[in-house]
Amino acid sequence: MTSTGTATPTGRTLRIAHLYPELLNLYGDSGNILVLRRRLEWRGLGCEVVECHVDDRPSFSDVDIVFIGGGSDREQKIVCDKLLAEQDELRAYVEDGGVLGAVCGGYQLLGHSYLMGDEEVRGLSLVDLYTDRGSPRLIGNIAVESRISPQPIVGYENHGGRTHLGPGVEPMGRVLYGHGNDGVTGEEGCLYKNVVGTYVHGPLLPKNPGVADYLISRALERRYGDGTLAPLDDEAELAANKVMFDRLMSGEVKEG
């Protein structure tokens, strides 16, 4: 495990566990960690990032945010076997309200199973969902309306998996453009306790500061009993979000 931290004038710090960055980093998913760190630092809050590599046995008892990125089937398979060793710890963390963000391959691994070719790979069963496969792959830009973000969430998706949510699991949001969980229901991602799972790469957080602040606020609330966040100047982030959303919704972007 490698750990990097920053001192803080407020005395409040969040610890982020970034799982398997060397394997799960499709479409810049590791950029999400930079965004979390900067948004904490800009508010005078500390941030410690612990990178967990495949043979580490991390403890989640003092962690505030767990992040898992996406990966190809090959990488997912390697990670899955390792992750199952952490299943009990991760389940306890999630049930205790621990914040967890997971993208695409990482999102699929939160469920009971993931169908990889003909092989059904066991998932972590942290959230009541499962993923099978469909054809063609669901590829392209995506925009999602979600209660966790004041702006539509924009990004990019590329997955063969089709994710199906159990009856008690809320989707992260509704697809406005693109495919989402299965290309059929109009649902995208999942919300369960303080878990956010989504197919949105891009990376997710730079153009979607509302999602970043949702994760940070939930983690501060859990750790310090107060999730109130000082506002930041998000002019650049919101302009990037809006230009992409407007391009998608106007039909200007031709997919494929």
Contacting range for ligand GLN; rule: CB under 6 A; set: 2-10, 78-86, 152-160, 208-216: 152-160
| Smaller CB separation from ligand GLN, 29 or 213 | 29
What's the closest the beta carbon of residue 103 comes to ligand GLN, in angstroms?
7
Binding mask 16-55 for ligand GLN (x = CB under 6 A): ----------x-----------------------------
Instruction: Indicate which single residue of 46, 98, 101, 105 sits in contact with ligand GLN (rule: CB under 6 A).
Output: 105
How far apart CA 214 and CA 226 sit, in angstroms, is 13
- For residues 153-183, one letter each, b for 16 or more C-beta atoms within 10 angstroms of the residue's C-beta and e for the rest, the string is bbbbbbbbbbbbbeeebebbbbbbbbbbbbe
| Smaller CB separation from ligand GLN, 115 or 229 | 115
Burial of 184 (0-12, 13-18, 19+ CB in 10 A): exposed
Instruction: Indicate which single residue of 46, 98, 123, 161 sits in contact with ligand GLN (rule: CB under 6 A).
Output: 161
What's the closest the beta carbon of residue 223 comes to ligand GLN, in angstroms?
29
Catalytic residue among 52, 80, 104, 190: 104
26 in Cβ contact with 75 (< 8 Å): no
What's the closest the beta carbon of residue 116 comes to ligand GLN, in angstroms?
8
Binding mask 54-93 for ligand GLN (x = CB under 6 A): ----------------xxxx--x-----------------
How far apart CA 41 and CA 137 sit, in angstroms, is 38
Query: Known catalytic residue: 104?
Result: yes
How far apart CA 176 and CA 187 sit, in angstroms, is 10
The answer to whether 101 contacts ligand GLN (rule: CB under 6 A) is no
How far apart CA 96 and CA 105 sit, in angstroms, is 24
Strand stretches in the chain, DSSP E: 2-5, 13-19, 46-52, 65-68, 99-103, 113-116, 119-122, 129-145, 153-165, 173-177, 187-188, 190-192, 195-198
| Smaller CB separation from ligand GLN, 129 or 220 | 129
Partners of 114 in the beta sheet?
Answer: 121, 131
| Smaller CB separation from ligand GLN, 137 or 147 | 137
Query: Known catalytic residue: 80?
Result: no
Residues designated as active site: 104, 201
Applying CB under 6 A, the residues found at the interface with ligand GLN are 26, 70-73, 76, 104-105, 158-161
